[in-house]
Structure 1
Amino acid sequence: MSTFVKNAWYVAAWSSEVGRHLLSRTILGEQVVLYRCEDGTPAALVDRCPHKLAPLSLGELKGDHVQCGYHGMTFDGSGVCVRIPGQQNIPPTARARSFPLIEKYNAVWIWMGDPELADTTTVIDVPHYGDAGWGLVDGQYLHFKTNYLNITDNLVDPAHTSYVHKKTIGNAAGEDVGVKVEQGDSHVLAWRWINDAPPVPLVATMANFAGKVDRWQYYYLHLPSTSYVDFGSIDAGLEPTEANKDGGFRSYSFNFLTPETESTTHYFWLHLRNYHPDDALVSDDVARLMTLTFEEDAVLLDYVQREQERTGVREYTRLGIDNAPARIRKMIERLQAKEAVSPAVHVLHPVSGATQPSTV
């Protein structure tokens, strides 16, 4: 059974990846081809010619049209066939499914579900994006060999940082500090404060605290799979107002998870910070340290995925720290159930060529 939620915005690629060439990428188990039209507008089609199912990405980009590399059938950005060499008549079934796109935050977002539900206002807001005094690292990508829900479990789990991320954002001071959980209509928040503790390695390297600090971790997961972490430190005992937090050491890490298959995930991320915002060397260090942090997760979750597949079991024991992950999985199940009864998208029948209702 699929774990995917289709009626949602996912990052398909960074803007810099999509150009005047055909880019093939697997998204939610579907092959998609992305490119830019001559006016710079991005377009996305199913990467499959309706004739013999050859990948359109093996063809050529002709102006704003994609020409199949097998028999030359040509499709516009909406998927309509505009030319069949040697044939005047174009059958109504000669079309490739297109997907709604929006470009925001230097990324191209795709909607894989019902196009009539593709509301661009529901793309998540990124605080301080483009603001003076905030440095940005973006264009980052990792490939995780695990189901995206294993990653969402991880991304609302502050407790694991004490053990998995000792070199970057965790230390022993947080081992026995509990995690609080809040739930909204479309998000879950797991958070904690670790007070009067030594700065973690990242903070010790990048900031100038004279003594101990109070550290916060706010882990948000917006359904189905966009995470951001509000992380920072202030002098121990300082009142934890928003102004004081913005005046201390603060960062926002956004993680845009796009399921590739049931066992692999595209992991796009960007990072905003209020420390040394204009220092390119610091940006390089942040990119290196955050990549190290996420790679630590990736290695561990690769093993988790393999054991889940080997045993057929997700977990044998549930702990108190699993409160937030359990809520997310239940919310995902409700979204899937809602999609199961939503209006169908029409696709080509795999044998007859006739159209039939389908939710895929």
Structure 2
Amino acid sequence: MFIHNAWYIAAEPDELLSRPIVSRTLLGKRVAVYRGASGQAIALEDSCPHRRAPLSLGTVQGDGVRCGYHGAEFGSDGRCIRVPGQDAVPRAVVPTYPVIERHGYIWVWLGDPDLADGGASIPDGFWVSGDPAWIGGYGRMESIKADFKLINDNLFDITHAQFVHPESFGGEEVQFYRKARPGSDYIDREMSFEVGERSIRFRTHAAALGDEGGPLWRSMLAQSRGLEEWNDPIDYRMEVIWWAPCYTSFHIIVRPSGEPDAPPVEIYNLHAAVPESEGSSHYFYRSVRNYGDASMNSAFIDAVKFVFNQDKPILEGQQAVLGDRDLLETHPISFAGDMLPLQGRRILERMMATELTRG
């Protein structure tokens, strides 16, 4: 079961430069996304009502699209406007979906169009991904054979990083997650968290993190100063925000320990686990920073890919074990780090229940 009344990332704008129509399955629906002559991004069902050929195999005509099978044309509102060789035009309409371009992404609303909120529920924390002041605003999209809820769980529970990502951010600082208390402050060597109606936020901090921490944090400080390495303790802060149903932002800030007025060295890692089907997802992610120049981008891209490729086999392995079952149906044992993933799942359950009530 999916949450339909929400905004989902369907594509990155650059994808429409390399191919005129992008086909993507979202929430089990085939969707065709293209840019019309007016410059507006348009999304409609990727299916011609004549013989169900994918409209994504056709061509863009003005603000409409022409089916590549028999040439029927459909306007941006989905209505059939022309059939070659005949005067009669069928009263056929291809379903269309509200579209918004924001924060460097194309977002689509697949639910009740009367409930679309003009983009008000698009995660405001994703602003940084479209801000040219932040360096390395590249994006990637990977397919992963795992339920989006498993990906949410993975992003929530950073304790796994000590064992899955020891080369980057898997140091002892991830264990602060097990010392969780409600609140909004940065607490030295602990974690504070807030649970909202449709979001969860948590913060971790270490005033003097040495080599027991993940090497990535010291590497950030070294790179920002043009050094090969940084061996002194650092002041490390991380804020993570999750917005239902599937968006997560990691904001990392480091400074030399004991230098609160030093310019912050910052990274944002943005994740979107968009459901493709009940057991697969589209994983959009970006990493942007406030230091360095474009010459560092390729190294960051490689690092992001490396981390993703560590998570992917575990997530897909979980899905293979679960099959068609939801994780909670298997009555898993609980660890101290499970609290926030469970809170996130409860938020999703409430949203799904609301949709069912509306019918």
Give the shorter-chain TM-score range. 0.7 to 0.9
Q: Distance in 2 between matches of 1:327 and 1:210?
A: 38
Which residue does the alignment assign to 2:16?
18
Q: Is the Cα–Cα contact under 8 Å of residues 177 and 194 in structure 1 kept in the other structure?
A: no
Q: Distance in 1 between matches of 2:42 and 2:216?
A: 40
Is 1:215 paired with 2:236? yes
Which residue does the alignment assign to 1:160?
160
Which residue does the alignment assign to 2:189?
none
Task: Give matches, 1:79-118, under 5 Å.
Answer: 79-92=78-91, 94-118=92-116
How far has the Cα of 1:87 moved from its partner? 4.2
Q: Distance in 1 between matches of 2:321 and 2:141?
A: 25
Is 1:5 paired with 2:3? yes
Q: Is the Cα–Cα contact under 8 Å of residues 24 and 31 in structure 1 kept in the other structure?
A: yes
Which residue does the alignment assign to 1:290?
304
Q: Is the Cα–Cα contact under 8 Å of residues 65 and 75 in structure 1 kept in the other structure?
A: yes
Q: Is the Cα–Cα contact under 8 Å of residues 44 and 98 in structure 1 kept in the other structure?
A: yes
Task: Give matches, 1:312-327, under 5 Å.
Answer: 313-314=327-328, 316-327=332-343
**Match of residue 183, structure 1, among 185, 191, 195:** 195
Q: Is the Cα–Cα contact under 8 Å of residues 24 and 57 in structure 1 kept in the other structure?
A: yes
Which residue does the alignment assign to 1:347?
none
**Match of residue 334, structure 1, among 331, 334, 350:** 350
Out of 34-43 and 128-137, give the one that drifted further: 128-137
> In the TM superposition, what whole-angstrom CA distance separates every residue of 1:239-286 from its partner, at most 9, and x where no partner exists?
5xxx76xx233211111221111111111112221232xx12222211
Which residue does the alignment assign to 2:226?
none
Report the residue type matching 1:215 in the other structure. Y
> In the TM superposition, what whole-angstrom CA distance separates every residue of 1:30-69 from its partner, at most 9, and x where no partner exists?
1111111112211111011122322222233333322223
Q: Is the Cα–Cα contact under 8 Å of residues 158 and 217 in structure 1 kept in the other structure?
A: no
Report the residue type matching 2:160 in the other structure. H
Q: Distance in 1 between matches of 2:131 and 2:59?
A: 40
Q: Which runs of 5+ in 2 are unaligned?
A: 181-192, 223-229
> In the TM superposition, what whole-angstrom CA distance separates every residue of 1:57-109 from its partner, at most 9, and x where no partner exists?
223333332222333321111101101334444343x1100111111222211
Residues 23, 312 of structure 1: alpha-carbon distance in 2 compared, 3 angstrom cutoff: closer
What's the % identity of the aligned pairs?
31
Which residue does the alignment assign to 2:250?
229
Q: Is the Cα–Cα contact under 8 Å of residues 142 and 266 in structure 1 kept in the other structure?
A: yes
Report the residue type matching 1:330 in the other structure. R
Task: Give matches, 1:1-150, under 5 Å.
Answer: 2=1, 4-19=2-17, 21-92=20-91, 94-119=92-117, 120-125=119-124, 126=126, 128=128, 134-150=134-150
How far has the Cα of 1:173 moved from its partner? 4.9
Report the residue type matching 2:96 in the other structure. S
**Match of residue 263, structure 1, among 263, 274, 279:** 279
Q: Distance in 1 between matches of 2:46 and 2:255?
A: 50
Q: Is the Cα–Cα contact under 8 Å of residues 79 and 95 in structure 1 kept in the other structure?
A: yes
Out of 144-153 and 203-212, give the one that drifted further: 203-212
Report the residue type matching 1:113 in the other structure. G
Residues 215, 162 of structure 1: alpha-carbon distance in 2 compared, 3 angstrom cutoff: farther
Out of 136-145 and 147-156, give the one that drifted further: 136-145
**Match of residue 314, structure 2, among 300, 309, 334:** 300
Q: Distance in 2 between matches of 1:177 and 1:51?
A: 55
Q: Distance in 2 between matches of 1:188 and 1:5?
A: 18
* SS of 1:170 mapped into structure 2: coil
Residues 227, 173 of structure 1: alpha-carbon distance in 2 compared, 3 angstrom cutoff: closer
* SS of 2:97 mapped into structure 1: coil
Which residue does the alignment assign to 2:184?
none
Which residue does the alignment assign to 1:202?
216
Residues 129, 106 of structure 1: alpha-carbon distance in 2 compared, 3 angstrom cutoff: closer
Which residue does the alignment assign to 1:354?
none
Pairwise CA RMSD: 2.4
* SS of 2:78 mapped into structure 1: coil
Q: Distance in 1 between matches of 2:121 and 2:174?
A: 34
Residues 116, 176 of structure 1: alpha-carbon distance in 2 compared, 3 angstrom cutoff: closer
Q: Distance in 2 between matches of 1:136 and 1:32?
A: 29
How far has the Cα of 1:26 moved from its partner? 0.8
Q: Which runs of 5+ in 1 are unaligned?
A: 344-360
Which residue does the alignment assign to 2:295?
281
Q: Distance in 2 between matches of 1:313 and 1:151?
A: 12
Residues 309, 221 of structure 1: alpha-carbon distance in 2 compared, 3 angstrom cutoff: same
* SS of 1:207 mapped into structure 2: helix
Report the residue type matching 2:150 in the other structure. N
| Greater RCO (Cα-Cα under 8 Å, separation 6 or more) | 1
* SS of 1:135 mapped into structure 2: coil
Q: Distance in 1 between matches of 2:231 and 2:151?
A: 35
Q: Distance in 1 between matches of 2:9 and 2:325?
A: 32
Residues 27, 311 of structure 1: alpha-carbon distance in 2 compared, 3 angstrom cutoff: closer
* TM-score, with structure 2 as normaliser: 0.85
How far has the Cα of 1:289 moved from its partner? 1.0
